[in-house]
Amino acid sequence: MADARSNGAPPVTFEEPRPGRFGALWIRDFRFLFIGTVSSGFGQWAQMIGLNWLAFVISGESATQLALVASAGGGARLLAGPAIGVILDRYHRRTVLVWTTVISAAKGILLGVLVVMDIVNMPTVYVFAVLEGVVSTANQNTRQAFVFDVTTERTLANAVALNSIAQNISRIAGPPLTGVLIGFLGTASPFLFIGIVMIISTVFTLPISRNTRQAAPDRENPLRSMWVAVNYISKDRAMLGLILTSVVPALTVYPYVQLLPVFSEEVLGAGATGYGLLAAAIGWGSFSGLVALSMYGEVRRKGLVLLLFYVGYVGALILFTQSSLIVFALSFLVIAGLFHGVAITLSQTLVQLLARNDMRGRATSLFAMGFGLMPLGALPMGLAIDAFGVQAALGGFMTVSFVFFVFQTLFWKSLRQAGSPRRDPTHGAMHLVEAPASVAEPVR
């Protein structure tokens, strides 16, 4: 049978878009997806901030309970990842997206009502943390894979960057908005707000066409389907390298975000105000990098650029860990955020380019699973801070990641060359290094 990517009818467009100038937004279905992603992002941040605050209040301001709630959600994300990948290749991703968004709305409204009625307790919080871990992971992974389904080959890279911008809009504005809601309207307000924004997201998801580039549904036994995906990725060195770009920093770098309050207080002496500024600096840097990437257009050597930007990201963080003045700390975090925004977006683009169409959902979920390892990295990082101090511990962990990315840049040739144009020795034509064609038929 023919290649699913060439047989699938592309989404309707108003005109042939121009990558590099927000061209993917000319595609009708992607515009709906973009707006839905912005709206659902506010809901996910409201859920995270609201649930953590709820746990903090009803547990008597117990930091241990707060950490356990975060671990419950992180564990659910990690364990659910492979199964979600199988679901994304077995069912139409538009359907999965609609249902997970509706469930998120219902879940938020239910918890809000329980809080208003004052019948919520810590076991209830744990249940909702686990549910949120599973549902939000399914929703986020679907949105990542669905970007490919509703765009064209020419606009894919631009669409992935714009999708990341959509997520960062809520990352910047979501936490302070949730704080304002709690301060003025009470603890239940974030959860009722979730219901509203998730309903809005559903309204913008429903008009998306069912005629997409998704491959025909996978009908294998689910366990075998999962094993086939793991075996496929383990033998594809470029894909394996991409998976490791999410796993290694999840264990050695990303947990520092949870420990920023400690850095702000003990190193900078800036307290809660400094913590807020540090958290915002990362988001603004990432947002700036993504806007620049969208304006720039097609990056020709994606693998090499993403590795160099990961090196720059961790290098800037190492400088941040050694900063004792808040102005330098903020500057290095903005730079780090800029590097990371570009690097992670190029990684997500390459996952979509390199994955076989019939493996897209599972490949996306396995890539995202790496981020679920953050709770496992937070514990040893916290213990190291107690033993060696904040700056020495954070600097040491990030040096490990820095060495890893330098190694990948120098020696992981298949990843370094991924997404690079190569010249056909027979015809002299240029083409991208990407996945072999899937033999599946497109979903309609």
Domain with CATH 1.20.1250.20 in the chain: 19-208, 233-420
Q: Which string of DSSP letters, residue by residue, matches 109-124? A: HHHHHHHHTT---HHH
Closest listed residue to residue 79, CA positions, set 375, 382, 356: 375
Beta bridge partners, 215, equal 442
Cβ pair 11, 209 in contact under 8 A: yes
Q: For residues 123 and 333, give the distance between their C-alpha atoms in angstroms, rounded to a whole number.
A: 37
DSSP state of 14: S
Q: Which residue has the tokens 């249940």?
A: 127
What is the per-residue pLDDT across 52-95, written as a single tens digit (0 to 9) for each?
Answer: 788 878 877 666 676 677 778 878 888 888 888 888 888 888 99
What is the per-residue pLDDT across 237-259, written as a single tens digit (0 to 9) for each?
Answer: 998 999 999 889 988 898 887 77
What is the per-residue pLDDT across 358-392, written as a single tens digit (0 to 9) for each?
Answer: 888 888 888 887 777 777 777 788 788 888 888 89
Closest listed residue to residue 305, CA positions, set 426, 428, 418, 217: 418
CA distances (Å), 35 to each of 38, 45, 121, 189, 302, in order?
5, 16, 35, 23, 27
Confidence of residue 437 (pLDDT cuts 50, 70, 90): very low
DSSP state of 18: -
Q: Which CATH number fits domain 233-420: 1.20.1250.20, 3.40.1010.20, 3.40.50.720, 3.40.50.300?
A: 1.20.1250.20
What is the per-residue pLDDT across 204-234, written as a single tens digit (0 to 9) for each?
Answer: 999 998 888 777 677 777 778 888 888 888 8
**What CATH fold (topology level) applies to the domain 19-208?**
Growth Hormone; Chain: A; (1.20.1250)
